[in-house]
Amino acid sequence: MRVDGEHRFDLSRSVMWEHLLNPESLQGAIPGCTAFEEVAPETWELTAQVGVGPVRGTFTGRVELRDREPESRYTLIASGQGRPGGGQGEAVINLTDDGDGTHLRYEADVTVRGAIARVGGRLLTASARTMARQFFDAIEKEAKTATERSAAR
Amino acid sequence: MIPSAFDYQRAGSIAEAIALKQGAEGDARFIAGGHSLIPLMKLRLAEPSLLIDISGIPGLSGVSEDGGRVSIGALTTHAELESDSVLLASAPVVAEAAGEIGDQQVRNRGTIGGSLAHADPASDLPAVVVALDASIHIAGAGGERTVAAGDFFSGLFEVDLAEDELITSVSFDAPSQAAYAKLRHPASHFAIVGVAASLTVEGGVCTGARVAVTGASTHAQRLGAVEEALTGSSLDDDAIAAASAAADVDDVNADLAGSEEYRQAMTRVFTGRAIAAAAAR
């Protein structure tokens, strides 16, 4: 399944770049993330509580960041497994300037399996987009908090 | 098809239901008709530890009208809405939309409060209550409050309702002319696209319009550009065609039942049909 979408951040491209690839910010922005451990260069294993609406579950997974072109583009490879099913995906993320802010565009190829895949067809794309939006909103919040903290110092 | 183990408690009043929810450990859910929650539990996509059954709470069911204001109790089933004499006289759009939901078994059990709180992106009633500018009445630990339907739905299964709150009723002014038009999924009868239109017409001119769509995107929402185009128009075929052409939705859903482009196109088609049906009332 292909999922694509866009998001606008108020913060500049250099700030967003830093936080989108920063393990601490990632851990803070992933919903219900309880474990986040670097297991190889640029590769982390994590446990997160993920869900949309009435469907919620604890997932363990792995995230890998690749093909970095500073401040403009990277590839995120993720896989996860939980009780309602599992999935994996590869997303290419592009950043461009948008006034004072940043415009992010993602294109992902996602496969899912298990109960989610069997019955979720009607809502998979919308759920994936909703989770992406939740993640981007959260990471911008992380970035804003960090920026304010360093400004106050 | 067998759910995980869960506890079950029956609440005899709103206060008891809220107290049970607040005192619960783990994932407690309210259940009324259960026709959205139980299928998810049987697939183990939802595994609540406790179900708090609110279906027996007295006073939360039925339709009444007072001075042109219609009130529907949250536990009123779709089947009751479909055949209610007050609705058929004062707000037939609600009965019409309720009759389009699922199958007879779903309509016999499913409730208006449950449908709105669950907020499936393809459920019918959210579009209707948004178009009717209904008030959603909510009770919770912090007391009672009322939210405008247009502000209630905010995203995919996202509504303005806290964990320890439940919907008690829905109220709205009886519309002068309103209708619902739906392209239904052939198997599930969910709305691939559903549009509700409520019009105020004076002397052959549309002086007010509220049009809302469900199924097309993450949640039921108004079609602002359509409403603007209708207001001041004579509601003839050309005006309806022009207004429905202005229908535009962000984040359009795509699945086996229809691509983004198809849903956008059907949103325009069914917007036109809903407006024409409302204008003819």
- CB atoms < 10 A from the CB of B49, how many? 14
Structure tokens at B89: 């006289």
Whether the CB of B169 is below 8 Å from some CB of chain A: the reply is no
Mean pLDDT over residues B84-108, rounded?
97
| Banded pLDDT at B257 (limits 50, 70, 90) | confident
Nearest CA of chain A to the CA of B97: how many Å?
A: 21
Check residue B238 and give its pLDDT.
96
pLDDT of A56 above 90: no
> CB-based contacts of B199: which residues, under 8 Å, 6+ apart?
B175, B176, B177, B178, B206, B208, B209, B230, B235, B275, B278, B279
pLDDT of A51 above 90: no
Q: Return mean pLDDT, chain B.
A: 95
Cα B215 from Cα A23, distance rounded (Å): 37
Cβ contact B218–A54 (<8 Å) = no
| Residue B68, strand partner residues | none
- CB atoms < 10 A from the CB of A141, how many? 14
Check residue A96 and give its pLDDT.
96
Residues of B in contact with A123 (CB under 8 A): 121, 156, 253, 255
- Strand B221-222 and strand A73-82: the pairing is unpaired
Nearest CA of chain A to the CA of B110: how many Å?
A: 16
CB B197 within 8 A of CB B130: no
Q: Which residue has the tokens 């990277």?
A: A74
Q: What is the pLDDT of residues B196-244, one digit of tens each?
A: 999 999 999 999 999 999 999 999 999 999 999 999 999 999 999 999 9
Cβ contact A83–B44 (<8 Å) = yes
- Give the CATH number of domain B63-173: 3.30.465.10
Check residue A120 and give its pLDDT.
66
Query: Which of A22-26, A37-41, A80-84, B186-190 has the least mean pLDDT?
Result: A80-84
| Banded pLDDT at B81 (limits 50, 70, 90) | very high
Cβ contact B46–A56 (<8 Å) = yes
Check residue A121 and give its pLDDT.
67
Cα B250 from Cα B134, distance rounded (Å): 23
Specify the CATH number for A2-152; select among 3.30.56.10, 3.40.50.150, 3.30.530.20, 3.20.20.70. Answer: 3.30.530.20
Residues of A in contact with B122 (CB under 8 A): 122
pLDDT of B59 above 80: yes
- The domain limits of chain A are 2-152
Q: CATH class for domain B7-52?
A: alpha beta
Q: CATH class for domain B177-279?
A: alpha beta
> Which carries the bigger pLDDT value, residue A4 or residue B76?
B76
Q: What is the pLDDT of residues A100-145, one digit of tens each?
A: 999 999 999 999 888 788 766 677 888 888 889 889 999 999 999 9
CB A122 within 8 A of CB B187: no
Of A55, A118, A130, the CB nearest to B155: A130
Mean pLDDT over residues B102-112, rounded?
96
Q: Which residue has the tokens 């009607």?
A: A122
Q: What is the 3-state secondary structure (H, E, C) of chain A?
A: CEEEEEEEECCCHHHHHHHHCCHHHHHHHCCCCCEEEEEECCEEEEEEEEEECCEEEEEEEEEEEEEEECCCEEEEEEEEEECCEEEEEEEEEEEEEECCEEEEEEEEEEEEECHHHHHCHHHHHHHHHHHHHHHHHHHHHHHHHHHHHHHHC
Residues of A in contact with B254 (CB under 8 A): 125
> Which carries the bigger pLDDT value, residue B134 or residue B27?
B134
Nearest CA of chain A to the CA of B114: how many Å?
A: 12
Counting residues of chain A whose pLDDT is more than 70, the rounded percentage is: 97
Q: Which residue has the tokens 């809220």?
A: B18
Check residue B63 and give its pLDDT.
98
Q: Where in chain B is the domain with CATH 3.30.465.10?
A: 63-173
Mean pLDDT over residues B45-68, rounded?
95
Cβ contact A54–B156 (<8 Å) = no
Query: Which of A128-137, B78-87, B137-146, B263-272 has the least mean pLDDT?
Result: A128-137
CB B136 within 8 A of CB B146: yes
| Banded pLDDT at B268 (limits 50, 70, 90) | very high
| Banded pLDDT at B31 (limits 50, 70, 90) | very high
Q: Where in chain B is the domain with CATH 3.30.43.10?
A: 7-52
pLDDT of B161 above 80: yes
Counting residues of chain B whose pLDDT is more than 90, the rounded percentage is: 90
Q: Chain A residue closest to B28 (CA)? A: A54
Residues of B in contact with A54 (CB under 8 A): 29, 36-37, 40, 45-46, 118, 157
